[in-house]
Amino acid sequence: MPTKTTPNRQQTHLAVLIDADNAPAAIVEGLFEEIAKYGIASVKRIYGDWTQPQLGKWKQVLLDHSIQPIQQFAYTKGKNATDSALIIDAMDLLYTRRFDGFCLVSSDSDFTRLAARLREEGLTVYGFGEEKTPKPFVSACDKFIYTEILRADAELPSELTEAGQPQEPRPAPKPKAQRVPLDFIAKVLDDIADDEDDWVQLGALGQNISKLRPAFDPRLYGFKKLSDLIKAQPKRFELQARGGGGGGRDLYARNLKTNKG
């Protein structure tokens, strides 16, 4: 009998563009682990003036992660020319029509219009930046991940003792957990809930939350997944597992304060 073959799932191809002046090298491991959740990083480029010493830490990790450095000299002292180089490359890559999305790694609001323009073409834009990133850039992305989350499990560089011996690497400090936006989550549940029983499939809840708040991430509140966050609020929300297609189990949530049953 002929062997039954499983059709290959279509891969999501992403272009990763990093602003080296506005992104710390300490995020590199977590960055590409996070990007792998959304697709394949087909292009990986990083922009900066590589003659400057402040990019030294990035130089140490470029080869390990196969990131292509793009040299951009500063034409005028105090002016950042890398933004323009990144934007021009992004538009060139856009018009190749080979990508499904872009990952813009920077805390600089100058990329706000670029993110919006890429989305106008129907591409998904993932932003990565520090919590200081201006809100317009965050809102211009489909999904925005704060890099403090990505650094939580990283190790700080080892330091030398007085005798010149290296010390054990120190874990980077974890970001302080924020207050869970219970009212916001409850409102989203109420808005999309079925009128009959108020239950909402968890995947649909997560998608609608991201549309309204691109930077929403359960890890900001001390939880690994959205299901963990919902489960930790038994007085406000209820979580239920139901049989899904193919023998799997789907998770559903509802807002207890508006439940009439």
pTM of the predicted protein model: 0.82
CATH number at residue 74: 3.40.50.1010
Q: In terms of domains, do 113 and 222 share one?
A: no
**DSSP, residue by residue, 16-49:** EEEEGGGS-GGGHHHHHHHHTTT-EEEEEEEEE-
Q: In terms of domains, do 29 and 79 share one?
A: yes
Q: Which tens digits make up the pLDDT trace of 74-105?
A: 765 545 678 899 999 999 999 999 999 999 99
Which alpha helices (DSSP H) does 142-220 contain, by range?
A: 147-150, 182-192, 202-212
Longest dimension (CA), the chain: 71
Q: In terms of domains, do 85 and 136 share one?
A: yes
Q: In terms of domains, do 105 and 213 share one?
A: no
Higher per-residue pLDDT: 214 or 152: 214
Specify the pLDDT at position 198.
85
Q: In terms of domains, do 50 and 152 share one?
A: yes
Q: In terms of domains, do 105 and 197 share one?
A: no
Q: In terms of domains, do 153 and 75 share one?
A: yes
Task: Give the number of domains in the chain.
Answer: 2
Q: Which tens digits make up the pLDDT trace of 151-161?
A: 755 444 444 44
Q: In terms of domains, do 91 and 24 share one?
A: yes
Asked if residue 123 belongs to a domain, the reply is yes
Sheet (strand 124-129) strand order: 68-71, 40-48, 13-19, 101-105, 124-129, 143-146
Asked if residue 164 belongs to a domain, the reply is no
Question: Which residues, including other chains, have CB under 8 Å from residue 71's CB and lie 6 or more apart?
Answer: 48, 49, 50, 51
Can you name the residues that pair with 253 across neighbouring β-strands?
A: 200, 239
Specify the pLDDT at position 156.
44
Residue 11: is its pLDDT beyond 70? yes
Asked if residue 77 belongs to a domain, the reply is yes
Question: Which phi and psi (to 5°) does residue 200 adopt?
Answer: -130, 130
Q: Which tens digits make up the pLDDT trace of 30-87?
A: 999 999 999 999 999 999 999 889 899 999 999 999 999 999 877 655 456 788 999 9
Asked if residue 42 belongs to a domain, the reply is yes
In whole angstroms, how far apart are CA 64 and each of 47, 86, 169? 17, 22, 19
With cut-offs at 50, 70 and 90, classify the pLDDT of residue 197.
confident
Q: Is 55 helix (H, G, I), strand (E, B) or coil?
A: helix
Asked if residue 169 belongs to a domain, the reply is no
Asked if residue 83 belongs to a domain, the reply is yes
| Amino acid occupying residue 171 | P
Q: In terms of domains, do 114 and 146 share one?
A: yes
Q: In terms of domains, do 63 and 187 share one?
A: no
Among 7-16, 53-62, 71-80, 113-122, the range with the most confident prediction by mean pLDDT is 113-122
Asked if residue 151 belongs to a domain, the reply is yes
Strands 155-156, 124-129: pairing kind: unpaired
Host domain of residue 196: 182-255
Q: In terms of domains, do 115 and 220 share one?
A: no
| Amino acid occupying residue 248 | G
- The whole-angstrom separation of Cα 100 and Cα 45 is 17
In whole angstroms, how far apart are CA 2 and each of 5, 9, 134? 9, 21, 57
Q: In terms of domains, do 18 and 141 share one?
A: yes
Which alpha helices (DSSP H) does the chain contain, by range?
A: 28-35, 56-59, 82-94, 112-120, 135-140, 147-150, 182-192, 202-212, 226-231
- Placement of tokens 């890429």 in the chain: 118
